[in-house]
Amino acid sequence: MQSKPYLTLADVKKVAAAAEAEAVANNWAVVIAIVDDGGHPLWLQRMDGAAPLSAHIAPAKAKTAALGRRESRIYEEMINGGRMSFLSAPEVEGMLEGGVPVVVDGHYVGAVGVSGVKSAQDAQIAKAGIAALA
């Protein structure tokens, strides 16, 4: 039987703190969501001033990145490129940039989703959080 790494609570707190620091450094009010490899919620943080809708979008982006094992922006690009059929994909609702998978030693262990600013900025925050694991 094989074994693989997984996100511990300490890991999740480290990722969340680094993501929050990136958002604060840029004066961005966002929601940060972290999920495990099955898309199950491990963390949700809504910063002061973040839009209520972002509390739904960030976890959806994270779940999409975790289940798809790729950044959520890939789905957005596919749809924008004309593959409208992806809109019917099951369990995938956050097909917008800002969801980034967490990969440890080649294993997909979860994802971070961020919502509240421009999509590229959301992804920047997510990647800053993930970088804290290195």
pLDDT (tens digit, 9 = 90+) per residue, 26-40? Answer: 999 999 999 999 999
CA distance 52 to 92: 20
Say how far residue 12 (Cα) sits from the centre of its chain: 12
The architecture (CATH level 2) of 9-131 comes to 2-Layer Sandwich (3.30)
Quote the pLDDT of residue 48: 98
CA distance 102 to 42: 13
- Of 100, 101, 97, 99, residue with least CA distance to 118: 97
Domain ranges of the chain: 9-131
CA distance 94 to 96: 6
pLDDT grade for 41, boundaries at 50, 70 and 90: very high
Quote the pLDDT of residue 111: 98
pLDDT (tens digit, 9 = 90+) per residue, 73-117? Answer: 999 999 999 999 988 889 889 999 999 999 999 999 999 999 999
Share of the chain above pLDDT 90, in %: 93
